[in-house]
């Protein structure tokens, strides 16, 4: 007579603690939204305001270029606008005087038309000067590299005194990633990836601590292979490269 098989209580409790159909995947932590930052203008690095490993808030100043050239261009553009403002006002007064004289038959139609043409030419020069002023203001703003979001600084690739040229390809000055969240990444087979969708719920465990997360993406870098990316709030001491586990319902 066969003896009945008894499931140990420990194994039974462990099995019941897992939801039916739950899956577990070995993963690794990675930085979220790793971003290479550069400047679209050329200049000389005046100051580097951060170091690698530092966590900064959104908008924090990372790199600043020598402002003197940008400020000189800005002053020049402002002076050009001011000079043309006076000429533009005078041209408008000339048109009004020409209209009055024309109404009194003192001025010919040709002379009135010339006053209009002169006024339009000066107005065009004025609008062009205003556009140049706007470009100078934008370039002055571009001379300051700021964090696009609350970020962890991963690397700093420049130093004070270094010349930055954006003529061909803007060099990478700072690499950052999001500070508040991280990604857990696992490699899956096609059968393991079935039923998983971006936006779905998942949990990530690191160093024995499990936190709720959301499936960010199910990438397919090659045929037959998938990368499951789960985004979670970053725990204290979490660094890219740490082993993790992903649990999906």
> What CATH number does residue 166 fall under?
2.40.50.100
Strands 181-188, 225-233: pairing kind: antiparallel
Question: Is 199 found in the same domain as 218?
Answer: yes
Specify whether the CB–CB gap between 107 and 116 falls below 8 A. Answer: no
**Residue 117 located in a structural domain:** yes
Which pLDDT does position 21 carry in this prediction? 53
Which two structure tokens, joined as six digits, stand for 226?
A: 């998938």
d(CA 187, CA 223): 13
Eight-state DSSP code of residue 40 = S
* Rounded CA separation 60/64 (Å): 11
Domain match, 160 and 219 both: no
- 50 with 144: CB under 8 angstroms? no
The number of distinct structural domains making up the chain is 3
Range of the domain at 154: 35-65+144-177
Whether 72 and 25 share a structural domain: no
Altogether, the residues listed in the chain come to a count of 249
Strand partners, 247: 24, 203
Is the domain of 202 the same as that of 192? yes
Same domain, 202 and 106: no
Q: Specify whether 135 is located in the same domain as 82.
A: yes
Decide if 13 is inside a domain: no
My answer on whether 59 and 172 are in the same domain is yes
Q: Which residue has the tokens 């779905």?
A: 200
Indicate whether 212 belongs to any domain: yes
Classify residue 227: in a domain, yes or no.
yes
Are residues 165 and 198 located together in one domain of the fold?
A: no
Share of the chain above pLDDT 90, in %: 74
Percent helix / strand / coil, the chain, rounded to 5: 35, 35, 35
Predicted model pTM: 0.78
Is the Cβ–Cβ distance between 210 and 246 less than 8 Å? Answer: no
The CATH number assigned to the domain holding 123 equals: 1.10.287
Q: Is residue 3 part of a domain?
A: no
Same domain, 90 and 110: yes
pLDDT in tens, 209-225: 999 999 999 998 777 78
Looking at the fold, whether 60 and 87 belong to one and the same domain comes out as no
Distance from C-alpha of 173 to C-alpha of 156, rounded to nearest angstrom: 6
pLDDT at 44: 96
Query: Is residue 152 located within the same domain as residue 53?
Result: yes
- How much is the pLDDT for 112? 85
Round the CA-based radius of gyration of the chain to a whole number and report it: 32
User: Could you report how far apart the first and last alpha carbons of the chain are, in Å?
Assistant: 41
SS3 185: strand
Dihedral sign computed on CA atoms, order 152, 156, 160, 163 = negative
Backbone angles phi, psi at 212, to 5 degrees: -75, 145
On whether both 160 and 40 belong to a single domain, the answer is yes
In the chain, which residues have pLDDT < 50? 1-20
219 to 81, 120, 233: CA distances (angstroms): 53, 58, 21
**Is 7 inside any structural domain?**
no
**Helix spans in 48-158 (H):** 68-103, 109-142
* pLDDT of res. 5: 41
Structure tokens, 128: 């062009």
């Amino acid at each position: 007579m066969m003896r009945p098989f008894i499931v140990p209580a420990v194994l039974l409790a462990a099995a019941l603690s897992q939801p039916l159909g739950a899956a577990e995947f070995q993963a690794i932590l990675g930085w979220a939204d790793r971003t290479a930052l550069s400047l679209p203008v050329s200049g000389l690095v005046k100051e580097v305001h951060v170091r690698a490993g530092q966590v900064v808030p959104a908008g924090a100043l990372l790199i600043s270029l020598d402002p003197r050239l940008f400020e000189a261009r800005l002053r020049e553009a402002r002076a050009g606008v001011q000079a043309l403002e006076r000429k533009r006002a005078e041209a408008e007064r000339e048109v009004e005087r020409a209209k009055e004289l024309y109404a009194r038959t003192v001025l010919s139609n040709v002379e009135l038309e010339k006053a209009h043409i002169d006024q339009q030419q000066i107005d065009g020069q004025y609008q062009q000067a205003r556009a140049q002023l706007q470009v100078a203001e934008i370039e002055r703003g571009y001379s300051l590299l700021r964090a696009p979001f609350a970020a962890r600084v991963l690397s700093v690739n420049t130093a004070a005194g270094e010349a930055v040229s954006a003529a061909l390809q803007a060099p990478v000055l700072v690499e950052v990633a999001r500070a508040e969240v991280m990604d857990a990444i696992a490699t899956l087979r096609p059968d393991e990836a079935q039923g998983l969708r971006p936006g779905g719920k998942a949990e990530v465990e690191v160093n024995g601590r499990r936190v709720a997360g959301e499936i960010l993406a199910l990438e397919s870098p090659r045929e037959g292979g998938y990368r499951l990316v789960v985004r979670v709030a970053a725990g204290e001491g979490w660094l890219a490269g740490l082993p993790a586990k992903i649990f999906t319902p």
